[in-house]
Structure formats: structure tokens, C-alpha cells
Amino acid sequence: MSKVLELDADQLFKELNVPNRVFVVYFSAPWCGPCIGMKPIFEKFSEAYSQLACFGHVDVAQSPTVAKPLNIHGVPSIAVFREGKLSKLIMGSNSYSELHKTVESELKYLD
């Protein structure tokens, strides 16, 4: 079972500095209805791909300074980082299959 790390801004930027890995981060807020619906989808996705990437979650209501430098303009958003650099940003609510199609190419090179 994959463990999704709960991160604040400082922890996120520290995790992004770990070399040689893909880090997939879910940005949400407790007041966001679509975010609540996306949470189990993200958790299922993190379990399916736990061998290929690390996974984290940032509550933008608790860490509001993290969104702007990463170009997160709305929630829910899922960001894929390679070597600490943003390589893919998925904004809005997505089904598991949409998330799989969008992120799979980012994880494929590690397979």
C-alpha cells in the first residue's frame, strides 16, 4: 500500500529536492467539493503506481504560499515532478482512467 505524504510548503520543497525520482502531488482544499471526490481516486492511483513514484498531498488552505510558485491556479490539481521540476500539471476533477492516461506517460520511463 502506498503512503501519501501529508506536506506543508517547507516539506514539499524539501521532498522536491530528493534526486532521481518522480513525485506526484495532489493539491486540494477542505472546502472544495471536487477535491473531496478526487481524494479516493488519487489514493487508488498512488497505490497502483507506488513502485514508480512517490506521492504527496498539500492542503492549500493550510499552506497557501505553495500554490503560486508552482503555478497552481485552482484545486483540485495534480502535479507531476521529475527531478524536482514540474513536468505535468492536471487541473480539475478527473476519473481514474483519465488520470491514468495523463500521468502514465510521465511514469513510463521508470518502468
The Cα angle at residue 73 between residues 106 and 49, in degrees rounded to 5: 25
Q: Which of 16, 25, 32, 58 does the annotation list as catalytic?
A: 32
Q: What is Dmax (Cα atoms) for the chain? A: 36
CB 15 within 8 A of CB 56: yes
Q: Which of 16, 24, 25, 35 does the annotation list as catalytic?
A: 35
**Residue 54 is among the residues annotated as catalytic for this protein:** no
Catalytic residues: 32, 35
